[in-house]
Chains A and B, each alone.
Chain A
Amino acid sequence: EVQLLESGGGLVQPGGSLRLSCAASGFTFGSYAMSWVRQAPGKGLEWVSVISGSGSTTYYADSVKGRFTISRDNSKNTLYLQMNSLRAEDMAVYYCAKMEGKQLVQWYFHFWGQGTLVTVSS
């Protein structure tokens, strides 16, 4: 059974940093791309970042480029999101998602974790 468990969320001041983790189980982690998707309170979904199975390729939404870094440790079956220079508009539930699809253009968000809440406030 596929499981994704996010952790690391919490309260952080504007300008601060936080690292999210997503522990994966039930599938061959290193064979799948992974993404982070966020949802601000009462708002819709926003794609944040994606990383290939090997970790060699990453992409970011313009809203987080240069501030967030996605990474993974395939030996630990864990996905990360390092968030720096946090802003009020980064406050959201952050979901990790297992990607599926034969090639990049066909990837879609196949399975979602339950999310972790990041609150940015002074």
Chain B
Amino acid sequence: QTVVTQEPSFSVSPGGTVTLTCGLSSGSVSTSYYPSWYQQTPGQAPRTLIYSTNTRSSGVPDRFSGSILENKAALTITGAQADDESDYYCALHMGSGFWVFGGGTKLTVL
């Protein structure tokens, strides 16, 4: 069974930079998985941030960026703000119309 791994939690100072990662329990993440990233605050629907590894969705500030780092998909937030405090989920397309989400990272800004 494929498991997509994310850090359960992360903390960043206001104005700081943080990189969240999205890996596989077995194997490496590449652009072929078309990783995407979603932000969710409690009680709200998810919001799309990044798709196809590094393309920002419409209206997403450029302080959010996506990449592949050391065999994992990565979401970097540069100049973190208080309202970036959210849960962040990655999703990988595993092929044949099958997606798997990571367990999510709870980001604290303090």
Judge whether B48 is part of the interface by a CB distance below 8 angstroms.
Answer: yes
Docked-complex contact A44 and B45, CB < 8 angstroms: no
Task: Report if A45-B101 is in contact (Cβ < 8 Å); known contacts: A95-B46, A105-B34.
Answer: yes
Is A32 in the interface zone, CB < 8 Å from B?
Answer: no
Residues of B in contact (CB 8 Å), total: 26
Within the complex, what minimum Cβ distance (angstroms) separates B7 from chain A? 13
A contact face: mostly helix, strand, loop, or mixed: strand
Chain B residue nearest to A48 (CB atoms) is: B99
Given contacts A45-B46, A47-B91, A114-B45, whether A108 and B104 have CB atoms under 8 Å apart is no
A interface bracket (residues with beta carbon within 8 Å of B): 20 to 34
Q: Is the CB of B46 within 8 A of A108?
A: no
- Contact A95/B45 with A61-B98, A108-B34 known, Cβ cut-off 8 Å: yes
User: Which B residue sits closest to A110, measured CB to CB?
Assistant: B48
Task: Give the CA-CA distance A101 to B51 in the complex, in Å.
Answer: 9
Residues of B in contact with A (beta carbons under 8 Å apart): 32, 34, 36, 38, 40, 45-48, 51-52, 57, 87, 89, 91, 93, 95-104
